[in-house]
Chains A and B, each alone.
Chain A
Amino acid sequence: MARMKFICDAERCIECNGCVTACKNEHEVPWGVNRRRVVTMNDGVPGERSISVACMHCSDAPCMAVCPVDCFYKTDEGVVLHDKDLCIGCGYCFYACPFGAPQFPQAGAFGLRGKMDKCTYCSGGPEENNSAEEFRKYGRNRLAEGKLPACAEMCSTKALLAGDAEVITKIYKTRVVTRGKGEEIWGWSMAYGGSGKLADQPGGRA
């Protein structure tokens, strides 16, 4: 079976946060927990770029390596999941993760840290597929329904791609070859025509 991965195409992401909303809605993620978020670099400056970030389901996941209770496992499709019944909410995985994927809900009146929550690639967790218990702990299991993660399927510009690594890298490669590469493919000139140079665009720096 394939290795499931995400790719976010920074040239297409328009920072609409549709992926974040789709994820929150699909899994009824509690307040304060964001399994996915959009990060923008050089915000407000012509040439800014945004990417959608969540658990990247690493091939050699550091969270798995540091977990003191060994609650992580990897599915045949390469999706990194964890057992919430085993998690003690220590936060080691948060420190180990380079993407800030592990999230911790506040579990009590005194800021007590709850069990870790993260992107499941919409494939639930170690409970019966599509059961109420699975939904309560891990969210919806779209993969068991033959569907891809909600964030990618909801993405309006198809900036966020999900699926077999081999398939989505081919899609990304086709895009890059078709559209070309460089500053001219961003923003004003792409939308309204005219000079492709950032310096010639409204608000552009010389």
Chain B
Amino acid sequence: MNARKLTTMAAAVAAAAALAGCTELSQESARSYMGKEDAKAYAGDQFKGDKQKWEQSLATRAASQNEYLRTQAAK
């Protein structure tokens, strides 16, 4: 094996080692949940499975926490 091949291999190994630090690990738990199944929050009587309506309701409430918007709207 000549020196050039060795250098190429060493560079490839070094690049692989360096790039390994860029890997984004999954944030999903490796453990499995053993308990009871939970119903979706929008599955109740109020939203009857309408996810979009439920999300809109939460978004409206979340946005109302920004009083800068509320005071500007009042002017």
Q: Which residue of B lies closest to A143 (CB)?
A: B41
Give the residue of B33, B41, B54, B66 whose beta carbon is less than 8 angstroms from that of A174. B66
In the bound complex, do residue B34 and residue A167 qualify as a contact, i.e. CB atoms below 8 Å apart?
Answer: no
In the complex, which residues of chain B have a beta carbon less than 8 angstroms from the beta carbon of A60? 27
The B interface, classified by DSSP as helix, strand, loop or mixed, is loop
Asked whether A81 lies within 8 Å of B67 as measured between CB atoms, the reply is: no
With a cutoff of 8 Å between Cβ atoms, the chain B residues found around residue A124 in the complex are: 38
Among the listed B31, B37, B43, B47, which residue makes an inter-chain contact with A126, where contact means beta carbons less than 8 Å apart? B37
Q: Is the CB of B33 within 8 A of A70?
A: yes
Interface 1/0 per residue, A10-49 and B, CB below 8 Å: 0000000000000000000000000000000000000000
Question: Interface residue tally of chain A, by bracket?
Answer: 35 or more
Let me know if A57 is at the binding interface, CB within 8 A: no
0/1 per residue, A154-186, Cβ < 8 Å to B? Answer: 000010011110011011001100100000000
Given contacts A73-B35, A146-B54, contact A153 B61 (CB under 8 A): yes
Whether A148 and B61, one on each chain, are in contact in the complex, defined by CB atoms closer than 8 angstroms, is: yes
**Residues of chain B with a CB closer than 8 A to A128's CB:** 39
Answer whether A75 and B31 are a contact pair too, CB < 8 Å, given A164-B59, A168-B62: no
From A59, A73, A74, A144, B46 is in contact (CB under 8 Å) with A144
CB <8 Å contact, A125 and B38: yes
Check if B4 is an interface residue, CB within 8 A of chain A: no
Known: A1-B55, A72-B33, A144-B46. 8 other contacts (CB 8 A): A73-B38, A74-B29, A126-B36, A126-B37, A127-B36, A146-B61, A167-B59, A171-B66
Cα A71 to Cα B36 with chains together (Å): 9
Cβ-closest chain A residue relative to B60: A146
